[in-house]
């Protein structure tokens, strides 16, 4: 948890949280979803969804009147969406909710907590899996629960013994030769 025992003015405990990209310092440890939205200037609050980013970057929706205790570890990161509904998908077989109808490859990468040494794969209910392109958007409004998987990329170093030139081949286990 990102908590300091003394607030910036020296008057007591302070709790540091991040709402989207905005860093907030709060004095009280318990806040409702509505209060967090108001403090982060997300108004009118009833037009927003707020999610807590928990362990393993799993998102959990916080209702407007639900309380969160910032003293618990992992309670300090939140994401908001101006939306009236959420969209569900699976990422590495773990259920996730998202607040808008499309999700980017970059956001899937962030939620999976993986770098560019991994590929993000869309696994449709019907058809073949395909690797998402950098910054590709995927529509989550279909009839099926969209499924995504991460997979470590394989790098093969090739050395030309005649001239010493080297280059890397980047592939994955799904590549067809």
Q: What is the pLDDT along the chain (177 residues), one digit of tens a residue?
A: 444 444 445 556 789 999 999 999 999 999 999 999 999 999 999 999 999 998 888 899 999 999 999 987 655 899 999 999 999 999 999 999 999 999 999 999 999 999 999 999 999 999 999 999 999 999 999 899 999 999 999 988 999 999 999 998 888 877 654
Closest CA to 86 of 99, 70, 71: 99
CA distance 88 to 148: 12
pTM of the model: 0.78
pLDDT value of position 172? 80
Q: Do 78 and 21 meet the contact criterion of CB atoms below 8 Å apart?
A: no
pLDDT value of position 171? 82
Closest CA to 56 of 10, 11, 20, 91: 91
């Amino acid at each position: 948890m990102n908590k300091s025992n003394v607030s910036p003015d020296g008057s007591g405990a302070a709790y540091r949280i991040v709402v989207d990209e905005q860093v907030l310092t709060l004095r009280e440890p318990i806040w409702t979803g509505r209060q967090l939205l108001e403090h982060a200037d997300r108004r009118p609050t009833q037009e927003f969804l707020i999610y807590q980013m928990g362990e393993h970057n799993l998102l959990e929706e916080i209702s407007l009147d639900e309380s969160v205790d910032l003293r618990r570890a992992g309670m300090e990161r939140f994401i908001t969406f101006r939306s009236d509904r959420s969209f569900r998908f699976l990422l590495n077989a773990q259920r996730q909710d998202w607040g808008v109808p499309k999700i980017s490859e970059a956001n899937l990468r962030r939620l999976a907590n993986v770098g560019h040494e991994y590929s993000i794969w869309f696994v449709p209910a019907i058809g073949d899996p395909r690797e998402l392109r950098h910054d590709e958007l995927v529509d989550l409004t279909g009839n099926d629960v969209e499924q995504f998987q991460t997979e470590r990329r394989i790098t093969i170093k090739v050395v030309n013994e005649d001239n010493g030139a080297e280059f890397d081949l980047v592939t994955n286990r799904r590549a067809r030769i």
